[in-house]
Chains A and B, each alone.
Chain A
Amino acid sequence: MTLPRAYEDQLVERAKQDADAFGELYDHYFGQIYRFVFSRLRDQEAAEDVTSEVFFKALRAIGRYKPSGHPFSAWLYQISVNAINDHYRSRKPTSSLDSAIAVADPARPVDDRVVDSAEAARVWAAIDDLPPQQRAAMTLKLGEDLKLAQIGEILGKSEGAVKLLIHRGMIGVRLRLGVVVAVEEQR
């Protein structure tokens, strides 16, 4: 749930001086950021490390944060995207996709859960191989259900550019899944 903008702005201002206010922001956004990071890394330990890094970076930088009309979460996602990229640069994810799927949220709708885990693993492995910007856009859209405009705020792109990233990303996934050939054959 998004905090009311006025309240959030006030909270962020207070968090520059008040540890408890930062704690309140943390309480509100931790789950969101953690899930995003996990969806990108699919490794619980790495997700914990990177999420910790995101919030410590946010703490160190919050004094310089200036509201830009975007939600505070956009700023946290920006930090997260950078931290994830840093993580990828330092090492590739080592977890098995199967294990990631195995911890999928049981509260999800049944039609989400009946996805064959091997198929799901293959799909997200394909996203891993996309260029970083496409990967981030795909994850924010399909992993976090963010609006195109929000993704643009996070990635510093226009909405049109985000659409392009997702479009290319989707084609890239299909290429990696080997379904393009099949589709073309059907055509």
Chain B
Amino acid sequence: MSWMGGWLDPELEDLFQNEPELLETAKQVRAARPRIEPDSRLQNRLRAQLVAEASRGGGARGLRRWWRLGPAHFAWGGAVVGAALITATVLTFISNNPADQTVTAFSQLTAQHSVSPDQVITVAFNQPMDHQAVEAGVHIQPAIKVAFSWKDNNLVISPAYHLSANTPYTVTIARTAIRAASGATAAAPINIPFGTAPTPAPGPVAPPSLNPTVLGVNGTGGSLLFAPDGSVVSTVGVLAAPATNSLSPSITAAAATPTASQTPTPEGVITQGPEVPGALVEYPSVGAPSRIGPSPSAVAFSPNGRYLARAVDDGNGGSRIVTSQSNGAQPDRLTDSATPVTALTWSSNDRIIYTDGTSISSVDLSHATTPPYTLPSGSGTIIALAQGGAYAYVSPPAGTGGALLNISARTDQVLQGAVTDVAFSGDGKTVAWVDESSHPARLLSESVGQSTQAVVSLPDPTATPSDVTLDKSGDEVAYMSTDPAGVAGLVVAQLPGGTVLALQSPANASQLTLSAGGDQIAFISNTTAGASIEQATVPGSRTQPTGPTIPADANKTLQRFVQAQVGQNGHPDLGTLSALSAAGVDATSATPQGLTRAYIISAYLPQQGGVGASIELIVDPNAQHTTAMVASETILLAKGPNGDYLVTSALPSPLHDESAGPHVVRVSSNTAGGVTTLVVSFDSDLDPNSVAAAISVLSQGRTLNSTAVYYADTRSATVTISNAPAGTLTLDIATTLADFKGQTLTQSFMTNVETSS
């Protein structure tokens, strides 16, 4: 039987040496064995399930906790999707010393293209090594700070700030440094080429702290809110005497004689009286704070920002509902409530709804009122009203499990484990609450009325959340987190997942409030010197651009085009490239073969119209070519005949070896409150002293006043420009910029970036 040839199993040959017919059958069976390659989708899906199960303690116990940053640290994922797992490579060296065994080294990362950025780099040797010699010979490109440790014969290289996402790496150990404890040396250096996955890099061990500034003194209790112009308003602000900056309340006429009164929390809950009363005080971003009215028990700005509604004590045990201009001018008494109002909000720009805890009433700017809706007896207490007036939160009369009340439909839905810590977003569409039926308590959120709660992950799962507040859109949450030892921290995180944007710990803060865009937070800080009102910028938060931005359709085309250039398994997706190219543009022949990833460094709006983008195309290093290769490319897009954006120019430079030294991987911009911020991300750990002087920003050839601060944990520089003109700015980085090893930029870097005013 001719098909038997070519296969030999010595064990079976031996077993069946006297029975050739059995050996023949064995060969037939083996030749006929069914073979199949597993479905990669199954493999990936099962892996995800297993790892998730393991992370939950379903077997491989213990959770790894990572602080993860948000979109500000986004790295575009152009790397090959679903790249086949590549079997790890064993590197073999023949010892010079014939008395020794062959030295082998192994790294699981070798030739992989989607290594998690939180991986450590392990190099397994087959014999005890000279630790100092090996460590001294380790070179990593791009340069990152690492720590070395050894476990048996394995060298563990741990990045100080994680690996960068979507980045090609080459770890080299010089030949002369590969020295075994026995004295054996290697015949060749070790090269471990690999690339990281295009996922956002995990954040630093400690996420960015808030850097609050003190706005002024607060009375005891009270609540804060942001005015439409970004000012912070306190319901019990205390104007300090002009002669002192002390936090000790040197009370001026704005403060009345201390009395026992009631003050609201952000949700309007009445808490027992402050010893130091205050007034409704506005703290503008520029200028001195000013008193805009007496201390209210509840307060809210109208959706259009023009009006301020507040409930103030009428002196007879009830409340007076007053509206005014947003600055407090032209107060107008709308109606009186015989019972004290504990919360109010606007259902539209001319109607206010308010509650005393048991009933909900409304009044419009023409003073017209509607009959109140009163809760059935014993059904709980209304403690929060959603902006828009569609929903209210009713705390339970006892235990946990308060209800979300649909005010018009008079129906309710239980919020699992909710008691009093419940907050609505500024648009009234999201609700977040603390589930106190869980131990430890959990933070949950859901789209109002959707009954699809999501658990918000906490940076410390053993901690208890409290003092929840949301931004306007419900994309961001702030809360206090108290660990089992009683140490509290202030956390700002994204919803729904809980990715931490900033952490202030320890913190003794209360009455947290987020600005509409989530880029600012204000809170009351309670110290032995008294209560102060503090405000801080939230690092990495989403901001609300107000000027020109890259059209979403153009950005989508750009992303698809670059992803098609990278393609699959080193082959560009020619069909997509052709479909996204304007007539006469031959992107298919211009795109290099073998690409594994790409960076979209920046995008801008050229003067001639359309959209421009700076791209870096990358071929990961491999065993044959241990240096990453790159090509720079400028892509221009314009609207085609049918209104869709098409690529009108894409001319990559020839591929060349990536230079040593740092490289820019992304530039993004944000403008808020008249301040433009460029975030420049690098692939290397930089020499912080080289950053500020090397970076400048130009507008139409004129250098703008800017300051640059380097953040080592995110490998990024934040460039702040006051009063930057709207439009295209040019970022210029000089060759004096250096990584921590002293390697400098090989040529100056210049790119355009779009900003808004």
Task: Point out residues on A near B: beta carbons under 8 Å.
Answer: 1, 3-4, 6-7, 10, 15-24, 26-28, 30-31, 34-35, 38-39, 42, 44, 47-48, 51-52, 55-56, 58-63, 97, 100-101, 103-105, 108-109, 111-112, 114-115, 119-121, 123-124, 127, 138, 141-143, 145, 147-148, 163, 166-167, 170-171, 173-174, 177, 179, 183
Give complex CA distance A82, B687 in Å. 57
Q: Which one of A4, A121, A147 has the highest number of Cβ atoms from chain B below 10 Å of its Cβ?
A: A4
**Is B15 in contact with A59, judged by CB distance below 8 angstroms?**
no
**Is B34 in contact with A7, judged by CB distance below 8 angstroms?**
no
Least CB distance from A73 to B in Å reads: 14
**Is A115 in contact with B32, judged by CB distance below 8 angstroms?**
yes
User: With A20-B116, A166-B15 in contact, do A112 and B62 touch (Cβ < 8 Å)?
Assistant: no
**A24 CB contact (under 8 Å) in B6, B25, B108:** B108
B256 part of interface (Cβ distance < 8 Å)? no
Q: Residues of A contacting B61 with CB < 8 Å?
A: 16-17, 63
Output the nearest chain B residue to A173 by Cβ-Cβ distance.
B25
**Is B33 in contact with A55, judged by CB distance below 8 angstroms?**
no
**Is B154 in contact with A142, judged by CB distance below 8 angstroms?**
no
Q: Residues of A contacting B36 with CB < 8 Å?
A: 35, 38, 44, 47, 100, 103-105
User: With A4-B124, A21-B60, A24-B108 in contact, do A147 and B50 touch (Cβ < 8 Å)?
Assistant: no
Stretch among B40-48, B186-194, B640-648 lining the A interface: B40-48
**A115 CB contact (under 8 Å) in B3, B63, B90:** B3
**A20 CB contact (under 8 Å) in B12, B21, B28, B119:** B119
Give complex CA distance A23, B29 in Å. 34
Q: Residues of B contacting A119 with CB < 8 Å?
A: 28, 32
Least CB distance from B248 to A in Å reads: 51
**Pairs A–B under 8 Å by Cβ, sample size 25:** A4-B126, A6-B152, A19-B51, A19-B54, A19-B55, A22-B59, A23-B50, A24-B108, A31-B37, A48-B39, A51-B46, A59-B58, A60-B58, A62-B60, A63-B60, A101-B34, A108-B35, A123-B29, A124-B32, A143-B33, A163-B15, A166-B12, A170-B22, A170-B25, A177-B25
Give complex CA distance A38, B151 in Å. 37
Least CB distance from B53 to A in Å reads: 6
Give complex CA distance A103, B37 in Å. 9
**Is A26 in contact with B50, judged by CB distance below 8 angstroms?**
yes
**B54 CB contact (under 8 Å) in A27, A28, A59, A142:** A59
**Is B62 in contact with A17, judged by CB distance below 8 angstroms?**
yes
**B60 CB contact (under 8 Å) in A22, A31, A39, A51:** A22
B736 part of interface (Cβ distance < 8 Å)? no
**Is A56 in contact with B152, judged by CB distance below 8 angstroms?**
no
**Is A104 in contact with B34, judged by CB distance below 8 angstroms?**
yes
**Is B12 in contact with A10, judged by CB distance below 8 angstroms?**
no
Q: Residues of A contacting B5 with CB < 8 Å?
A: 111
Q: Residues of B contacting A23 with CB < 8 Å?
A: 47, 50-51, 54
**Is A142 in contact with B106, judged by CB distance below 8 angstroms?**
no
Interface size on B, residues (CB 8 A): 62
Q: Residues of A contacting B30 with CB < 8 Å?
A: 142-143, 145
Give complex CA distance A124, B29 in Å. 7
B132 part of interface (Cβ distance < 8 Å)? no
Q: Residues of B contacting A120 with CB < 8 Å?
A: 31-32, 34
**A111 CB contact (under 8 Å) in B16, B31, B104:** B31
Output the nearest chain A residue to B10 by Cβ-Cβ distance.
A147
**Is A20 in contact with B64, judged by CB distance below 8 angstroms?**
yes
Output the nearest chain A residue to B56 by Cβ-Cβ distance.
A19
Q: Residues of B contacting A4 with CB < 8 Å?
A: 90, 104, 106, 124, 126
Given contacts A114-B2, A115-B31, 16 further A-B contacts (CB under 8 A): A4-B104, A16-B61, A18-B64, A19-B54, A23-B51, A24-B108, A26-B47, A30-B46, A63-B59, A104-B34, A112-B3, A124-B33, A142-B30, A143-B33, A166-B15, A179-B25
Output the nearest chain A residue to B112 by Cβ-Cβ distance.
A27
Give complex CA distance A55, B38 in Å. 15
Q: Residues of A contacting B33 with CB < 8 Å?
A: 39, 124, 142-143
B229 part of interface (Cβ distance < 8 Å)? no
Give complex CA distance A98, B21 in Å. 25
Output the nearest chain A residue to B30 by Cβ-Cβ distance.
A142
**Is A100 in contact with B34, judged by CB distance below 8 angstroms?**
yes
Give complex CA distance A70, B64 in Å. 29
**A10 CB contact (under 8 Å) in B11, B49, B118, B154:** B154
Q: Residues of A contacting B126 with CB < 8 Å?
A: 4, 6
B552 part of interface (Cβ distance < 8 Å)? no
**Is A61 in contact with B59, judged by CB distance below 8 angstroms?**
yes
Q: Which one of B28, B32, B46, B47 has the highest number of Cβ atoms from chain A below 10 Å of its Cβ?
A: B32
